Structure 1
Amino acid sequence: MDPFLSWTQANQPEWIAFLKAMVEVETPSGDEMAITRFADLLEKHVSDIATVKRVKGPGFGPHLLLEFDLPGAKKKGQILGLAHSDTVHPTGTLQKFPFAAKAGRLFGPGVLDIKGGIAQFVFAARALRAWGIPVAKKVVLQINSDEEVGSDSSRALSEKMAKQSDYVLVVEPGTGLSGKLKTARKGTGDYSVRVKGIASHAGVDFLAGASAIVELAKQIEVIAGFTDLERGLTVNPGVIQGGTRTNVVAAEAQVDVDIRIARLKDFNALDRKFRKLKAIDKRCQITVEGGLNRPPMERSQAIAAMFAKARTLALDLDVKLEESATGGGSDGNFTAALGVPTLDGLGMVGEGAHTLQECLLLDRVADRTALLAKLIANL
């Protein structure tokens, strides 16, 4: 049996205990005190193998940089791991959805996205130390506190660390119940389109009004038409609001729109379409705000080469590794856009992320942790 696999199997009870401790510190995005408690817990658990630096994330809590003390002589270059501490689950979720092991799975808020990935990275480092496997590069795990809400506070840090790195390993969950790695992600963005009309009494002075709602409805049809599935470009008008009362011709209305693009070169043309929106009723005014907040992670030759290496290493674990592309974004989008070889989806295998059925597969803990250790040792 592969030595890393045998070690991770033998140490799986400790792995589960570590994950349980992390999950039971709830960390909703934007709760600085909760994120700080999580940072305290994590620093205590890794103090024997890593130094921890805290970077201020105003409004979100500290971002963490864990530099591991791994075997090997003088190291040249750096491997950057990426994870995040925040989850979408509000405080109190544990009361109705506690950490639990049943039917070959581990359940709990954030267990898959992404605290299982953090446990995986830490135990991959422990496996390397246990076997005394020399590592050629410095290994740092960056844990951001605001990934689930756009990474505005942590983006600069991610890009700075990526520029100092030769490779980036992202421990977001794999795709599906086979745990496919992610070699491409769509870029993500948001637009707000606001319409200002003219209010009037709907019964007494109907013709004097210019309905912002009616105008917005027409604009939404135009906006939805920006979708181009052949180019991997989707535009989703997701939230609308407007008006005050049914007997008032609406003076204001707004739609919030999600965009996803597979290729960065398609963004400028899409942005121009939003900026050129014109009111059909000339009495109305249109204002457009927004843009791209995560560039796409496009599958490059360097990313393909990283996946090929991981696939070969996985064969030692009797795992047939596959790759995937996804419409969701991660902090790996930022690093890949800088040209730094980035491999995503290296985290745990499971399903139900962001729901009250979130879980990971127990029988994939050992091989995923072992694969990460082998990859770190071979980059």
Structure 2
Amino acid sequence: MIEDLEELVRCESFSADLEAVARSAKVVAAQGSRLLGAEPEYIVIDGVTHLRWTFGTPRVLLVGHHDTVWPMGTLERHPWSLVDGVARGPGVFDMKAGLVQMFHALSGLGSLDGVSVLITGDEEVGSISSTPLIQDSARGLAAAFVLEASADGGALKTERKGTSIYHLDVYGKAAHSGLEPWNGANAGVELAHQILRIAGMAAEEGTPGVTVTPTVLSGGTTLNTVPAEARVGVDVRVPTVRAQTRLDELMHALTPHTAGTRLEVRGGPNRPPLEAASSAGLFELAQSIAARLGQPPLLSASVGGASDGNFTAGVGCPTLDGLGAVGGGAHADHEHVIVAEMPHRTALLRGLVEAVLATS
């Protein structure tokens, strides 16, 4: 497993470099083919390379991604290493160790009939091209297991917030800021009003755990010109579908405060939430399998970050996330994996797949 992990980490796969993602797909495909005994289907959408294995009529879906956030050349700064049982390198935790564990878990099954494996190439940039593929692959199945890295302490991810992304554009009227500012309509002032309104939406909606965060700001052209345009990006995180719908209504109901300005709101929900109800049964099953394997009691976590598990849960497929590596430092220089945990997580995943196949 360590050799396989090293092979994947040494093949850089920055999401924005589609040629690198395509090269990575070939390495992942070869590794999967060796362990699963079958070649995958290559699915290229908008230049992004995804992989899918299907055995019989699917009842269980295993989900992962092979792209990473790390720009090409990161290996020179953060090379692969294994020291004192800790593996390091770009993408080792998020989520190349999860792919290795997935393949080795399935290779130990007596039969793969009923299993589907989907490994996407654009998860780190929002799964733009792969969203329909994920949804179609999960719809109507008994379970989806997501090999994203675990939460702190190895906890499985039983809840994930849904995400919505908005862009608010404000249009006003330019004028000379010294000679006749009153003849303009200041888009910057209007944007300030809207930012304060947006920042208060979480409290207005009222659901605990909701965050509404104005992020990237821009506006104006020169110091002596009343801004004719200004804009802000807004990041929304929600624990429930109801809250996501309500906040979408609030964003699209924004109205201007400053005379002579107008607003344009673009965007909406990106990923639905993975709610606790979607994972509860599978987490209970995982606890019983861990006990049977002699592993410590499993922990669960609710996290703000989203994954492709949000999409599988969103189409009604029971979903358990965070089954991948135990370690830490996702997207950070200290990204690492505790390699001694890899066989334990592999055994847990194998037991979960076996149990669901036996009862579905």
For normalisation by structure 1, the TM-score amounts to: 0.88
Q: 2:171 aligns with which of 170, 189, 196?
A: 196
Q: Find the aligned partners of 2:76 and 2:22 in 1 and give their Cα distance.
A: 21
- Supply the distance in 2 between the matched residues of 1:43 and 1:284 (Cα, whole angstroms): 53
State the Cα deviation string for residues 48-82 of structure 1 (Å, max 9, x = none).
323211112213x21101346xxxxxx76521100
Could you tell me how far apart the structure 2 residues matched to 1:44 and 1:76 are?
23
Aligned-partner SS, 1:334: helix
Structure-1 residue corresponding to 2:138: 162
1:92 matched residue in structure 2 = 73
Partner of 2:248: 271
C-alpha distance in 2 between matches for 1:111 and 1:86: 11
For residue 283 of structure 2, what is the aligned residue in structure 1?
Answer: 307
| Equivalence for 1:231 | 208
**SS class of match (2:255):** coil
Name which of 205, 208, 217 aligns with 2:180: 205
Q: 1:292 aligns with which of 235, 258, 269?
A: 269
Cα separation, 2, equivalents of 1:222 and 1:46? 50
> Is 1:79 the equivalent of 2:60?
yes
Is 1:148 equivalent to 2:124 in the alignment? Answer: yes
Equivalent residue number for residue 3 of structure 1: none
- Supply the distance in 1 between the matched residues of 2:322 and 2:98 (Cα, whole angstroms): 9
Q: Do the aligned partners of 1:51 and 1:67 also contact (CA within 8 Å) in 2?
A: no
Total equivalences in the alignment: 351
Is 1:66 matched up with 2:47? no
C-alpha distance in structure 2 between counterparts of 1:358 and 1:262, whole Å? 27
Deviations 1:55-111 (A, max 9, x none): 12213x21101346xxxxxx7652110001111111111111111112431111111
Partner of 1:218: 193
Q: Which runs of 5+ in 2 are unaligned?
A: none
Counterpart of 1:339 in structure 2 is 316
Q: Which amino acid aligns with 1:22?
A: L
Does the CA-based 8 Å contact 2:195-2:214 persist in structure 1? yes
Q: d(CA) in 2 for partners of 1:126 and 1:104?
A: 24
Residue in structure 2 matched with residue 42 of structure 1 by the alignment: 28
Conserved 8 A contact 1:57-1:145: no
**CA positional deviation for 1:262:** 0.9
**Is 2:113 the counterpart of 1:113?**
no
1:255 deviation in Å? 0.3
Query: How far is 1:334 from its partner?
Result: 1.1
- Equivalent of residue 352 in structure 1, options 329, 334, 341: 329
Could you tell me which residue of structure 1 aligns to residue 15 of structure 2?
29
Give the superposition deviation at 1:356.
1.7
Structure-2-length-normalised TM-score: 0.93
Whole-angstrom distance in 2 between the partners of 1:236 and 1:338: 27
The 8 Å contact of residues 140 and 317 in structure 2, kept in 1 or not, is answered as no
